[in-house]
Structure 1
Amino acid sequence: MRLRHKVAVVTGGTSGLGRRIAEALLREGAQVVCAARSERDMPAITELAGPRAAFHHVDVRDPDSVRGLMSFAQDRFGKLDICVANAGVTRDGPVHRLDPKEWDEVLDTNLTGAFHCMQAAVPYLQLSAGTLINVSSALSTRVSPGATAYSVSKAGLDMLTRAAAVELGALGIRVNAVAPGFIGEGMGSRLSDNDLVWDDYRTRLVSGRLGTGDEVGRAVVFLASPDGGYVNGHVLEVNGGLQWA
């Protein structure tokens, strides 16, 4: 129970990878606000943790909505210690054919959304010497044709993580990121469902398998807990030894 008495917010926290991150925090004793545009799997999360889990509607593209989320966490649980910016989308397409509206949606959600979370969370986290954790991706440092918008958003998120760690250190706030590889949750679950694509990508995995959402969740717990107390400005890859041609 490394996070007993800690309060966390997880955006995109009601389904897929966000749900697994929220559950990992809950298993370690935290009180967690699962924030998203839909309640999705919230009943199962509540069954796991009872009153230690709460839902709040948020659109991370809207700074007012994000400020309302952080205020809700403060009002519901009395403080904020951990903010996990996990909400994300992807829109596939090569740069010369990608709809500019889809480009904007990906950048506004994945990168600007995390920026909104940082700005809204800092006034609370500086009171608790808290931590910000961004959910990046293995594609932040690797080229995958057709995933340009997603990769650019995550590459920007890596730099935002490092820059914010330097700027917020004086306030006692640590900032890190996890960069999952191919995970069998959320977006990653589609990979193994396509035999043609999976046959290609499986050979790139030293572990020989997809990762699990629980494994990413445990990495987030490490960064949020005292075990990761001297880790700051770091992007932790959780990818099973992913190789890239």
Structure 2
Amino acid sequence: MQKNIVITGGSSGIGEGLAKHFYNKGWQVLITGRNNSKLSKLAAELPGIYTIVYDSLKNGQESKIIDFIKDEWNGKLDVLVNNAGHVALTPLPEISRDQLEEMYQVHLIAPSLLAAGCVPFLSVTKGQIINVSSSHGIKAYAQLSAYGSAKSGLNMLTKIWALELAPLGIRVNCVAPGPTDTPVLENAGLAADIILAIQQSEAKTIPLQKRGDVEDIVANTALLIDSGSNWVTGVVLPVDGGISVS
């Protein structure tokens, strides 16, 4: 039977990797992102994939996705992946209300509202929600007050939703990637030399002595979605080369 998956932040990095994985498995895939040109480029590469311009910083954007599921997929949804997000490094004395609100909007409020809107669909298919968090939500790092606390909150939401939605047959799990080779640092507006220094420093502190690849995250996310994980819910799975326990 045809399966349907929604992936927010699906035009690059981990989201793009997940989109390609499930597209190649024959699923119907809807990806969202803020950059229409990136969405269009991926749509040209993967004919038949669905795209929606979606900005999680704007209120009410989740209705675009909910309406699409109703109108295009007749309300059938098997998996929602809350993947959209971005990082900002800011020392505590320089942090602002705007930055805090932005991080909590993207990583907590928007995923919550989208998940809430998808519950009626997922309860029919006995589907699941996958949240993409970060090792920064497990292990403390300097200058990540907003991002780290937001990701930590997403980890807790995963557990709360798992308890709340289990009676409906909906599973909720979370993948917490460690430092991974994606455009996230470039998207944060950091200079190339700073990005290189961060990457080299991270590689040295990871017990397995290497940064992750998108494929590492995709494989473990797919493992949670696979039917072999039907008795798994409420899990926050670190995929981080051991950094969260170092």
Common fold by TM > 0.5? yes
Whether the 8 Å contact between 1:24 and 1:214 is mirrored in structure 2 is no
Aligned match of 2:80: 83
CA distance in 1, matches of 2:228, 2:40: 30
Would the alpha carbon gap of residues 106 and 220 (structure 1) be closer, same or farther in structure 2, given more than 3 Å must change? same
Aligned match of 1:233: 234
| Superposed displacement of residue 91, structure 1 | 2.3
TM-score of the aligned structures, taking structure 2 as reference length: 0.89
Q: Cα deviations across residues 159-212 of structure 1 (Å, max 9, x unaligned)?
A: 000000000001110000000001001215779974433333222223322211
Does 2:201 correspond to 1:204?
Answer: no
Unaligned stretches of 5+ residues in structure 2: none
Aligned match of 2:127: 130
| Runs of 4+ residues over 6 Å off in structure 1 | 189-193
Would the alpha carbon gap of residues 178 and 40 (structure 1) be closer, same or farther in structure 2, given more than 3 Å must change? farther
Aligned match of 1:11: 8
Does 2:130 correspond to 1:142?
Answer: no
Q: Which amino acid aligns with 1:67?
A: S
Choose 115-124 or 37-46, whichever is displaced more.
37-46
| Superposed displacement of residue 59, structure 1 | 2.5
CA distance in 1, matches of 2:245, 2:198: 14
CA RMSD of aligned residues (A): 2.1
CA distance in 1, matches of 2:172, 2:193: 32
The percentage of counterpart residues that share the same residue type is 27
Whether the 8 Å contact between 1:174 and 1:233 is mirrored in structure 2 is yes
SS at match of 1:60: coil
Aligned match of 2:62: 66
Would the alpha carbon gap of residues 110 and 40 (structure 1) be closer, same or farther in structure 2, given more than 3 Å must change? farther
Choose 204-213 or 175-184, whichever is displaced more.
204-213
CA distance in 2, matches of 1:39, 1:238: 30
Q: Which amino acid aligns with 2:142?
A: P
| Superposed displacement of residue 95, structure 1 | 2.0
Aligned match of 1:176: 173
Give the counterpart of 2:51 among 45, 48, 55: 55
Whether the 8 Å contact between 2:238 and 2:244 is mirrored in structure 1 is no
TM-score of the aligned structures, taking structure 1 as reference length: 0.90
Would the alpha carbon gap of residues 229 and 48 (structure 1) be closer, same or farther in structure 2, given more than 3 Å must change? farther
CA distance in 1, matches of 2:99, 2:39: 28
Aligned match of 1:98: 95
Q: Cα deviations across residues 16-47 of structure 1 (Å, max 9, x unaligned)?
A: 22111211221222111001222343344334
CA distance in 2, matches of 1:127, 1:63: 27
SS at match of 2:88: coil
Unaligned stretches of 5+ residues in structure 1: none
